[in-house]
Each structure stands twice: as structure tokens, then as C-alpha cells.
Structure 1
Amino acid sequence: MLLAGPTAVGKTALALELARRLGTEIVNADSMQVYRHMDIGTAKPSAEEQRLVPHHLLDVVDPDEPFDAARYVAMARPVIDRFHRRGRIPLVVGGTGLYMKALTRGLCPGAPAAPEVRRTLMEEMARRGSAALHEELCRVDPVLGRRLHPNDRQRILRALEVYRATGRPLSHWQEQHRFQVSLYPGIKIALFRDREDLYERINRRTWIMMEQGFLDEVRNLLAMGYAPSLKPMQSLGYRHLCDHLSGRRDLDEAVALIQRDTRRYAKRQMTWFKGDPEFHWFHADDPDPVFRWVERRLGETDAG
């Protein structure tokens, strides 16, 4: 069972209650909550919430370890298979649509790696910056370019690596795959809120994170030796506060940019999940229809 939705929509609270009612546990599907030492800025479930319902795939790698959808699937499938062998339904919760799609539909094999091309691209990125390479990607692969943020260095590098090595955009390879394999039968739930309500929640949660010590969390990560250029340190919030700590922007500006970019990210998440017709949508403020719908679907499954 999948529970998805944009950041700050209210997935955690509903997931805890749904897991309690089903007598099951939660499998994380958030690409940032897999990292150790990154708790506040990723809105990771609190220690108390993790005591209420066991969670899996939280804090499984350090910020300087490579992690992607393939590694996520490799770690998640054994966990899910253990649930299935015991006759229990795992509850996969998160906002990273690619991880959920890869888990349920398989990974696009894409083109083989081209190490020489990758090295050239990394040199270009160091010299020209990720924004310039993102502009190039938008020209050669506009479909993927629209989906990727200019700071998403790793995915930009991979997309340009594929294009330069094969002459075909990565979106072409993905279209050939089309995620047509169904690895797990699933119940897919997505939560939504009115846009203004969601944006207000994002703005408010950003300030709550700051009050909880988000800046100190980033400061501690830098003190531990994790470079600002690392993929997770370039994610929402972390890159903005790294800029503040380096003196490139003041704190109020950094917070405002976190809020703005998080709102934009939430919009992209909504677009992603709406592209999957298997998701059934529910308003986050009214959980009872979710519980009734899940109960009905499980009853239909048992009857079948």
C-alpha cells in the first residue's frame, strides 16, 4: 500500500493512524530521510512517532554515500517481501515519486554508463556550474529538463551523459521502458490540500524547522566534514542554509528562498503523482474516507 502526496500535506499523521489500524509498519519512500544526521530539514518522523509505529529505511546511509532509486529498490524489496511472507501489508509512505514508481513498476535500464563522458561533464560542471548544464539539457531533452531542478546535479549529469553517449535523450529511454511491469499489486493513496492552504503549511513548517534547530543541524553537518557540494547537502533547505553560513546571503533571505523553493517542489510533486492514474486522491483534512476506502479495497482483495 502506497501513501503519497506533496511535502507538508500531512502524510505522517495519517500514515501513523493507518498503520495502527492495519497492524502494520511504515516503509519510508522519501529520498532525503534515508540519510543519517539529516532530521529536521527532512521532516523525519520524530523518535516518539517511530516508537508508535516501526519505520524502515530511515537513517540507512551517511550523507556522503551514493544513493539513488536503484539502491532504494534493492533495500526496500527485501523489507516488503518479509511483510508479504508474514501475510502483512507494508505501508510505503513518502513524497519521492520516482522511488515509488521504481519500487512498483521496475527501473528503466536506460543506456550504459559512459565514464569518459561523465568525467568531461563533471569538469564542465565545475567550470560552468549546474545552471549552465541544465540549460543545455533543456535544449537536448526538454521533457526531462522541465522536470529537473537546475541544482539537481546528479540527474543532470546522468541525462547529459546519456545524450552525449547515445545521441538520444534519457526521456526517450524512459519512454521505451514506460514502467509497464507491475511488481506488486498495490493500493495507492494520494493526499491533497487547497493550494493556498498547502503553501501556508509549507511557510509555517519552515519557520518551525528553524525554531527546532535546522541551522544548527546544517552547521553540525559541515563541522562533521560533509561538503556543501554533496548531493544531499544541495537539497531543499540545506543548500540555502549552507549559502547563509558561507556568508553568501542573510538568514531571512535564506528562509524566504527555502519557502519559495519548497512551494515549487510541492507543485512538481503534485504534477508527478497526478500523472499516475492508479492513485486515489483524498483531502488530507478528512481521513475517514481514506479508512473506509482502504477497508473496502482490502475486503475486495480478500474476497477475490
Structure 2
Amino acid sequence: MKIIHCIAGPTASGKSAFAVKLAKRLDGEIVNADALQVYSELQVLSARPTTAEMEDIPHHLFGHISPSVRYSVGHWLREVDPLIIDILARGKTPILVGGTGLYFKALTEGLAQIPKLPPSAMQDAQAVLDTDGIDALRSLAEQLDPLATAKILGNDPQRLLRIVSVAKSTGKPLSMWQQDTHPVLPIGSWKGIVILPKRENLYNRINARFADMIREGGLAEAKHVLNLKLAPDLPAMKAIGLRELSAHIKGEISLDEAIELAMRQTRRFAKRQYTWLRGQMPNWERVL
């Protein structure tokens, strides 16, 4: 049986190119493990690999979901499990690559089997966010489930809403549900690799890449997504760059301001990813 390779790393760390090189060497196929690269309308702003960058290596679960869908780690697991089995059955090496650490955690450690929540549970949590804001929602989440909340990168309303709604609806914190889990990938069937370049080099790459995004149609892509009039709390609408360019399109800031703000927000996000990956994946092989 071939070993499944999991490649994680912060944004702009060179994961995609690394995965392609590995796929050529191991006769592999690449599977997306990035929460934003699943969305069909976010080719440029999610830094989804282009056809040329794929270099004729089969790529799976990229750009196949409408941005109107609330795609979650549970959706991804249901898609990726049979896909890995299929790749292995054809004698190929599955190579999973992305920056969404929670996808890898669910795959290698398991996903909690939480009962279906009533709509009122999420509505009550959403009311806290709508009325009192993200800080109040985080404060409530910390009261109900400090362990799960501590793992959230920045102000992530979708996951904070989940923590609050699960605790209030089931009477049991999400972190306790997560303790009773089983990994999708059996121990010994996979290898984890974390790409962690020097931070200064990473930040320079981030700035250069966003400049490339603008040249390659990022502004036009943002206009297209904005014209879809999607709910602002959808996961796809959290893409860094989309929010900043949308503010420019609406006349709120200049293009230069939008670009600088997007670069700064991406660097901050990469810093949080860097810290999370180092803490949550201590036994994965490091590539600098």
C-alpha cells in the first residue's frame, strides 16, 4: 500500500509547487485541502493552481463548489475519503495539499459525530453576532468552550458560531465531542509534511503574489463575485483580497489602499497559520 502524503503550510509558502514535484516523483495525484480553493469563482484570489501550474498532474476537489454553498470540513471529509480510496486503488499516491489545518486534523485525528442541531441553535448564536458583534461572540464561545475557542485563528465567525450553537444545543462543549473521535486515515498509512519558510521570505512572497493577482485579473474576479450578491457571512466571502477589493469597487478606498490592506491582512493570516501549524502538528516533518 502506498503512503498518503499530507502537505500543509501557510499561504504563499510554495505548497502547490512542492506537491507537483512530489507527485512527479511518486506517481501521485493531488487533492485539495484548502477551504477557499474549493470555490468555483475564486480562481485568482484563492491562489488556486492554474492549468499550467498543475503540469499535467491530476488535481481533485479544486473549484468544484459554488460560493453560495456553506462548505465545511464535514463536506470535505465526505468527498476526500472515497477519493483517496480510488486513487490508491488505481496504484497512485494521494498527495493532499493545503493551508486549512482543520482539514488535516479531521482527517488524521477524526471529526466529532455531533447530533444534528435545530435551526434555532444557530439562529440564537447568529443573533449574538448581529446584535453585539464578533468580540461578544468570541467572549461567549470562550465561556462555553475555552478549549475549542483557543484553536480558532483570529475572528472566524463561522467556527465561533459553531462552538456556541453546539454547546447551547447539546449541553456539551464541542471540544468534548471532539475527544470521542476516530481518524479517517489509519495510523501508519500517511506522512505529514509542514512547509515553514523563513517569515521574512514568506512575507515577501505574499506581497509579490498579491501584486501578481491584480495583474492576473483579481479585481475583475472580485467585481464578478460582488455582482453575485451573496450573503456576506458565507465562507467564500471571507477570502482575503475579496473584502478589500470589494471596498475599492464600492468607492470606499483607493485601489492602492485595497492592495496594501490585502497584503497586510494576508501577512497577519500567514503569521497565525504559522503559529497554529507549529503548535498543532509538532510531529510532522518540517521543510524550510
Aligned mate of 2:30, from 26, 38, 41: 26
- Cα separation, 2, equivalents of 1:250 and 1:149: 28
Paired residues, what number?
282
Identity %: 39
Instruction: Show the 5 A alignment for 1:129-140.
Output: 129-140=133-144
Are positions 1:277 and 2:277 aligned together? no
Instruction: Using the TM superposition, give the Cα deviation of residue 21 of structure 1 relative to its aligned residue in structure 2, in angstroms.
Output: 1.3
Find the counterpart in structure 2 of residue 57 from structure 1. 61
**CA distance 1:36–1:170, shift in 2 (3 Å):** same
**CA distance 1:132–1:247, shift in 2 (3 Å):** farther
Find the counterpart in structure 1 of residue 256 from structure 2. 252
Are positions 1:195 and 2:207 aligned together? no
Find the counterpart in structure 1 of residue 224 from structure 2. 220
Instruction: Using the TM superposition, give the Cα deviation of residue 180 of structure 1 relative to its aligned residue in structure 2, in angstroms.
Output: 5.9
Are 1:111 and 1:173, in contact at CA under 8 Å, matched by a contact in 2? no
Instruction: State TM-score, norm by structure 1.
Output: 0.84
Are 2:106 and 2:184, in contact at CA under 8 Å, matched by a contact in 1? no
Are 2:17 and 2:53, in contact at CA under 8 Å, matched by a contact in 1? no
- Cα separation, 1, equivalents of 2:33 and 2:70: 16
Gaps of 5+ in 2: none
Find the counterpart in structure 2 of residue 89 from structure 1. 93
Instruction: Using the TM superposition, give the Cα deviation of residue 168 of structure 1 relative to its aligned residue in structure 2, in angstroms.
Output: 4.4
Are 2:37 and 2:48, in contact at CA under 8 Å, matched by a contact in 1? yes
**CA distance 1:78–1:182, shift in 2 (3 Å):** closer
Are positions 1:70 and 2:74 aligned together? yes
Aligned mate of 1:14, from 13, 18, 25: 18
Instruction: Using the TM superposition, give the Cα deviation of residue 108 of structure 1 relative to its aligned residue in structure 2, in angstroms.
Output: 1.8
Instruction: Using the TM superposition, give the Cα deviation of residue 119 of structure 1 relative to its aligned residue in structure 2, in angstroms.
Output: 1.5
- Cα separation, 1, equivalents of 2:182 and 2:251: 44
3-state SS in 1 of match to 2:76: helix
Instruction: Using the TM superposition, give the Cα deviation of residue 167 of structure 1 relative to its aligned residue in structure 2, in angstroms.
Output: 4.5
- Cα separation, 1, equivalents of 2:247 and 2:134: 16
Instruction: Using the TM superposition, give the Cα deviation of residue 254 of structure 1 relative to its aligned residue in structure 2, in angstroms.
Output: 2.5
Q: Which amino acid aligns with 2:75?
A: R
User: In angstroms, what is the RMSD of aligned CA positions?
Assistant: 2.2
Instruction: Using the TM superposition, give the Cα deviation of residue 77 of structure 1 relative to its aligned residue in structure 2, in angstroms.
Output: 1.2
Runs (4+) off by over 4 Å: 178-182
**CA distance 1:69–1:255, shift in 2 (3 Å):** same
Find the counterpart in structure 2 of residue 3 from structure 1. 7
Q: Which amino acid aligns with 1:177?
A: D
Q: Which amino acid aligns with 1:124?
A: V
- Cα separation, 1, equivalents of 2:147 and 2:254: 35
3-state SS in 2 of match to 1:45: coil
Find the counterpart in structure 2 of residue 38 from structure 1. 42
Which is worse superposed, 10-19 or 112-121? Answer: 112-121
Q: Which amino acid aligns with 1:10?
A: G
Instruction: State TM-score, norm by structure 2.
Output: 0.88
- Cα separation, 1, equivalents of 2:62 and 2:184: 27
Aligned mate of 2:124, from 120, 127, 145: 120
3-state SS in 2 of match to 1:272: helix
Are 1:105 and 1:183, in contact at CA under 8 Å, matched by a contact in 2? no
Which is worse superposed, 67-76 or 111-120? Answer: 111-120
Find the counterpart in structure 1 of residue 110 from structure 2. 106
- Cα separation, 2, equivalents of 1:81 and 1:44: 24
- Kindly provide the CA deviation profile for residues 211-240 of structure 1, in whole angstroms up to 9, marking residues without a partner as x: 222121010112234343422112322222
Gaps of 5+ in 1: 284-304
